[in-house]
Amino acid sequence: MKAECVVCGTKPDDNNWAEFDYISGDFYCPECNPVEEEFSEEECELCERTEVELTDHHLVPQVQGGSDEEDNISRLCVSCHRKVHATFSNFELEHKFNTIEKLRRQQEIRSYIAWITRTDKKNVKFKESNRAKYL
């Protein structure tokens, strides 16, 4: 995988890696990021916060055969979505954490939810752990 902005070619280093967004298989630097913030009246299905940008999270990842059907999609805020994918491999999401309830019961996610709901942060970024990347 090429770790550079697909628009301008900027490469992340150890100091700014968390500022890059990984969207649909491509990296974008903060200046070229195509995602516009759109806040919704809906709440994140994981942390239950409102007034945050929501994204579609496939409970069974598409690369693992998950569908675009409504019963396979949960609306997560950007921060929760990033946390889930930084924490778990696609295999783990498919086999162990394929419902919102199962995600909420996992200790690391419980701790994260307790923290994020006490902050006013709308868009938290996480480095993907090697554990999630290589499982």
For 107-122, how does the pLDDT look when each residue is reduced to its tens digit (9 = 90+)?
A: 999 999 999 999 877 7
Residues 89 and 26 in one domain: no
Residues 7 and 57 in one domain: no
Q: How many domains, the chain?
A: 2
User: How far is CA 86 from its chain centroid?
Assistant: 7
Residues 66 and 87 in one domain: yes
Alpha-carbon distance of 107 to 60, in angstroms, equals 20
Mean pLDDT per 10-residue interval, the chain, length 135 residues: 66 59 60 57 90 90 90 92 90 95 96 90 66 48
103 lies in which domain range? 36-134
Which amino acid, residue 7? V
Phi, psi of 90 (to 5 degrees): -60, -35
What is the per-residue pLDDT for 102? Answer: 97
What's the token pair of residue 134? 């290589």
Residues 44 and 26 in one domain: no
